[in-house]
Structure 1
């Protein structure tokens, strides 16, 4: 099943070309190249879940870079990374509220019968596809630890 998100990124590339928006176009081309690389390497067509995982990874890399640039006293480079984060984030679905996340976690804990930290992997395996691209996986992982701990 082809990804609607990937199709919208592809359309955004065309729109940026027409608008001669070089900065936005550059970011979108990097994202499309990452999609293509995965499709060629693994001989698959990306679905929405995989596309969201790629977008999440791209955003995380840029957040790390922006923080390093900020720490190094290079705010102009950090601003570039922040711009790229904004462009990529525009393709993510709307974020989940804290209540929604808590509800998903409680359902997953009940469904897996998790009782302790040993069961965290089972819970995260069930939760991750539901929150991908809609919540920070690291923060959700911390919430799971507190619920199971």
Structure 2
């Protein structure tokens, strides 16, 4: 079993004992999503830490998008609840790259691949995505690659 999944389970126990409703609910939801992912497909499998990080990133993104939708819909209480869940999930994600770190990694990848113009985006993304893995949102990475290839 992955270390991250073990940490999530032990933190759930701690949250239950502390009667922390937000953390308890969020961790239960995340562990349920992990179990669902492990059971999906034709055979049962165990997720590794990198797969759990990918799942956590996806869940955090869902919460951010839901918070924005609730905010636009005039439901600030639900938006705040979604942000609170997102904050709990973020505790388990690797530290996000700063804009400068991201720009440096992408410019290195562009030099490495020799890519030029918009057609080289796929080459650069193939090289840079494994290095970034969970430390920056895909849309942010793609926007920076486009910016650097255009300039």
What is the root-mean-square deviation in Å for CA atoms of aligned residues? 1.6
Shift of 1:12: 1.1
1:129-144 to 2 correspondence within 5 Å?
129-144=130-145
Q: TM-score, normalised by structure 1?
A: 0.90
Which residues of 2 match residues 1-149 of structure 1 at below 5 A?
Answer: 2-42=1-41, 43-149=44-150
Does 89-98 or 118-127 show the bigger shift? Answer: 118-127
> 1:19-70, CA deviations, whole angstroms, 9 ceiling, x for partnerless residues?
1222211110111111111111143321222111111111111111111111
Moved >6 Å (runs of 4+): none
Unaligned runs of 5+ in 1: none
User: Measured at CA, do residues 26 and 130 of structure 1 come closer, stay the same or move farther in structure 2, by a change above 3 Å?
Assistant: same
Structure 2 residue ranges without an equivalent (≥5): none
CA deviation string 1:61-97 (max 9, x = no partner)? 1111111111111100101001001000011112212
1:125 and 1:45 map into 2 onto residues whose CA distance is: 26
Q: Counterparts of 1:101 and 1:89 in 2: how far apart (Å)?
A: 19
CA distance change for structure 1 residues 129 and 3 in 2, over 3 Å: closer, same or farther?
Answer: farther
Moved more, 79-88 or 120-129: 120-129
> 2: distance between equivalents of 1:45 and 1:98?
34
**Number of aligned positions between the proteins:** 148
> Is the partner of 2:135 in helix, strand or coil?
coil
